Amino acid sequence: MGTAEFATYGLISLIGYIIVGIRLMNLCNASGVSHGWLAFIPLLNFTRWARLAGKNPWLVLLWFVFVIPGLILSLIWLNKIAEKTGTKSPWYWVYLIATIITFAGTSALSGTTQVIVTLILTVAMIAAQWMIFDPTKGTSTTTATF
């Protein structure tokens, strides 16, 4: 991956992170989950996912010890959030497939093909999170603080 491709990927990822953070914060506020601003802090944003899914946010510590179980937990939480907001089909599946391909499959590609596929999958994950974190469909969840 060259400098231009890396910069493009970084810019798209940063813009997506901000957009999804705003949407997640709004969903937290609509659902009564405290500290929605944590949506903008890496890894701590998953504590908001856990709260929205009605799970213990301390499980996020798994990310620091075991990356794969942490990733699996976050997918389970996203599934719960999608069920609660009524946006499960097809957006959860778009996110799940894009995540699996991104983490497991793009290393098999090379050059421009890898960059294009990675960018498309990143945009797909951003779009799926945007749809799942719909604050107009937010439901009441546990309001315990973290």
pLDDT digits (tens, 9 = 90+) for 2-11: 677 778 778 8
Domain range enclosing 31: 3-137
In a domain, 81, yes or no: yes
Q: Which of 93, 61, 89 has the alpha carbon at shortest distance from 75?
A: 93
H/E element, 65: helix 62-65
Looking at residue 3, its pLDDT comes to 79
Helix or strand or coil: residue 5? helix
In a domain, 146, yes or no: no
Low-confidence ranges of the chain (pLDDT < 50): 140-146
Looking at residue 1, its pLDDT comes to 58
In a domain, 67, yes or no: yes
User: Which two tokens mark 54?
Assistant: 């009605």
Looking at residue 23, its pLDDT comes to 92
Looking at residue 28, its pLDDT comes to 92
Looking at residue 144, its pLDDT comes to 44
Residues 6+ apart with CB under 8 A from 125: 16, 94, 95, 98, 99, 102
Query: Under a CB-based contact definition with an 8 Å cutoff, are residues 146 and 34 in contact?
Result: yes
Looking at residue 138, its pLDDT comes to 59
User: Which two tokens mark 58?
Assistant: 């301390």
